Structure 1
Amino acid sequence: MQKKTRIVVTGMGAITPFGQGITSFWENLIAGKTAVRMTSDEQLRKWAPVTAEAATFSAEDFMERKLIRKTDRFSQMALAATAEALSDAGWKSREELNGDYDGNRVGIAMGCAFGGVQTLDEGMKRLAGGAAHAGPRLVPKSIPNAAAATIARQWGIHGPVITYSTACASSANAIGEASYWLRLGEADMVIAGGTECLFSPVILAGLRSAGALAVSGPEDDPGAWSRPFDAGRAGMVMGEGAGILILETYDHAVRRGAKIYAEFSGYGATNDAYHETAPDPTGFSAALAMTRALHQADIDPLQIDYVNAHATATQAGDAAESIALHEVFGNSLNRIPVSSIKGAVGHLLGAAAAVESIACIKALETETLPPTINCRQKDASAPADIVPDLSRHHRKIGFALSNSFGFGGQNGVLIWKNAASL
């Protein structure tokens, strides 16, 4: 492996609960706003009273009706985010992309925990209503790799196209594993990220039964139900969306004159081997993943200037992550700002790491730290500085670390380096 092969981000795209595009996401995030609202669907509201829906996203704004009929919402969001990311990187069409890159040398690494659950719901409803069949498109629309496969067809991509399904760490693993393709010379450019829409009665009911969802909070303020690091936190709020990054080798990005947003610096992956849903309370493997990412980046913990925490606002999860952070950073954690954006956009599950990586990259670019909102009484075990309530100017952010921890004990950690130092 060419360990020193440098990898950079040259394009970004997102669909989030704040709307379409990177600009909408970032401006609302640093303004301290929340996209968490009362759940619009009455049936879903029984299981999840509040959610962070991408309410303004309409597939019709991004694709033809024929393609909409062939795809589930999670694929549609991925397609829209990919189009933005590729356009941002300089390619507005399949022909333009193929002018710079051989489609055989382009890959797609997508993170997704479940796939097209809304299509599955529709099929079950049809059968329950007496229909003789569920429809020929049910399987190709609902399989977890449908989003990546559709993107490949739309853009003429013939390289490695792989979907990673590792719960909340899915898109962290997708981005991290994509880096190996570039370093091994298996691809010259990779579309990497994640997508998720789990607004399904059975999924939300299952998460509620597992004790993961926030089911109570201020009735007059649904936007305050997601409370990362708060002593009285009561569970996560489900969100939906997609985040896409364009990863290229540094040398090729420079040759084609691309704008470079950040450098991919390090990746660590581990498993708790502890419990199917609960994190290891010692934080051992979460800390190990951070240590591995630091080792790959070849930097000291003291060089991290910002941590984007996984912090979903569950009692056990936030506590275990706090312990892991203290283990890795020691007393220096007191000077490192740590924040979770899940108070603002909820938990995007398989898309969370990709969207949160975008937040890290924007923090590096703008010297602005996104806040942790809704933490009214900080848990005693939480990091000292969680950037409470309001965004903050922070000069010279050199490295940002992003944590993603999920069911099944899956841990994925990414480190991003400021492009100004390239």
Structure 2
Amino acid sequence: MNHTRVVVTGLGALTPIGNTVDAFWQSAIRGTSGAARITRFDPTLFRTQIACELKDFTPEKHLDRNEIKRSDPYTQYALYAAAEALADSGLELSQIDPFDIGVIWGCGQGGMQSFEDEVKAYTQQNFNPRFSPFFVPRLLVNMASGMISLKYGLMGITYTTVSACATSNTSIMDAYNYIKWGKGKIFVTGGSEAPITEASIGGFAAMKAMSTRNDDPTAASRPFDTDRDGFVMGEGAGALILEEYEHAKKRGAKIYAEVVGASMTADAYHMTATHPEGLGATKAMHLALEEAGLRPDQVDYLNMHATSTPVGDLSEIKAVTNVFGEAPDHLLISATKSMTGHLLGAAGAIEAILCIKAIQESVVPPTINTQQLDPAIPTGVQILTGEAREMPVNVAMSNTFGFGGHNAIAVFKKV
């Protein structure tokens, strides 16, 4: 049996409700919504005209000119969050073998904005049409992991995971496993996404997956509510430094929490819909708890994937009751996408940060906007709505699910 322990020693966040971990956390426990009318482009002709955009983020203040020139916004977000996480970790990179540190980063869409901009520019050129030499590097989905590695000289295992909205937890799981297997001592992991573009918003709107509550954006993301009508798009990044416990202990690192379990399964049911009985999600949660050596009644807080879609929220509730029962008095649940919107491939990263902060601060962030619970939800399921709650959190679970039937679960524990 592998007894290698993996801990979290650094955090970084760039979100629609805060541009640092502390700002993000404070906004989350206050129940702040990041939704508003889209400003990135004119959304007038779109079914959905709202999103959770970043606020007051100017790349020029944080990245050098060449980094900006060569990278899509999703990579810029990744570089920003990774910088905060590495600084927070206290790692002295010059004193560590660069082959001991890797980057496993997640993104669902890659450089969507760069792709749109370049194709539009190409079609408008009547004379000598050409593409930028940075076109391919900017759109590649693996470029964020590569750019983080390049910036800091990190030469360990480095690549990108893609599992739609389960992507960040997939990255965390992979980093966790590679440390357990002795393939690295430290990983920068997490995810980033920059999906507030015309093509992305238009595509998801065409699927009728997003809310059209355009006249009331701050209340549009309302998981579990009887009037929920789809998710609200978000953007940003979340970064975690995962480190082998003995290595972290030896250098006197600050330890936020321990990663004790992670798992993935597939629904094998539908391209975009979750399994109505939550079979894949149920198995994934059981496997993560089994690896963690925990019983369901030992989990204190569950950050649900719950995107505010009519079908998805209920299938996840079904999976939760399959694992924890229909009246789990020990378990408190919240859906923080009600505040941040859905960051697609970055969702799991920022929600993992909230789970870790809940453990550290003994506070559970709330679900906002939920006025009337869907009557299909068992009355014994405790969904925290309205305000944050102070309570001991020793174990927290983060659920993520993605198009294609991907289910990825991560479990964190107080050290």
Residue in 1 that maps onto 2:409? 413
Q: Deviations over 1:25-51 (max 9, x none)?
A: 000110111111111134345333110
Amino acid at match of 2:187: V
Determine if contact 1:19/1:57 at 8 Å carries over to the other structure. Answer: no
The runs of 5 or more residues in structure 1 that have no matched partner are: none
Residue number in structure 1 paired with 2:71: 71
DSSP-derived class of the 1:168 partner: coil
| SS of equivalent to 2:289 | helix
CA displacement 1:248-307 (0-9 Å, x = unmatched):
011010000000000001001001000000111010001111001001101100000010
2: CA distance between counterparts of 1:43 and 1:288?
43
CA RMSD of aligned residues (A): 1.2
1:14-413 paired onto structure 2 within 5 Å? 14-44=13-43, 46-47=45-46, 48-91=48-91, 96-99=92-95, 101-130=96-125, 132-216=129-213, 219=215, 221-382=216-377, 384-394=381-391, 396-413=392-409
Partners of 2:44 and 2:246 lie apart in 1 by: 50
Aligned to 1:192, the other structure's residue is in SS state: strand
8 Å contact from structure 2 (residues 232, 342) kept in 1: yes
Secondary structure class of the residue paired with 2:183: coil
Distance 1:380 1:187 in 2: 48
Between the aligned partners of 2:45 and 2:334, the Cα distance in structure 1 is 30
SS across alignment from 1:198: coil
Question: SS state of the match for residue 43, structure 1?
Answer: coil
Residues 162-207 of structure 1: CA deviation (Å, up to 9, x unaligned):
1011000000000001111101111010001000011121121111
Aligned partners of 2:351, 2:300: CA distance in 1, in Å? 16
The 8 Å contact of residues 302 and 332 in structure 1, kept in 2 or not, is answered as: no
Is the contact between residue 165 and residue 400 of structure 2 (CA under 8 Å) also seen in structure 1?
Answer: yes
> What is the percentage of aligned positions where both structures have the same residue?
40
Q: Is the 8 A contact 2:40 2:197 kept in 1?
A: no
What is the Cα deviation at residue 334 of structure 1? 4.2
Distance 2:198 2:383 in 1: 33
Distance in structure 2 (CA, Å) of the matches to 1:129 and 1:7: 52
Q: Please, which moves more after superposition, 318-327 or 333-342?
A: 333-342
Measured in 1, the distance between the counterparts of 2:232 and 2:292 equals 32
C-alpha displacement of 1:381: 3.0
Judging changes above 3 Å, is the alpha-carbon distance between structure 1 residues 45 and 407 closer, same or farther for their aligned structure 2 residues? Answer: farther
Contact 1:19/1:56 (<8 A) preserved: no
Number of matched pairs: 410
In the superposition, the TM-score normalised over structure 1's length comes to 0.95
SS in 2 for 1:163: strand
Measured after TM superposition, the shift of residue 379 of structure 1 is 1.1
CA distance, structure 2, for counterparts of residue 398 and residue 24 of structure 1: 23
| Bigger helix fraction | 1
Contact 2:18–2:27 (CA<8 Å) still a contact in 1? no
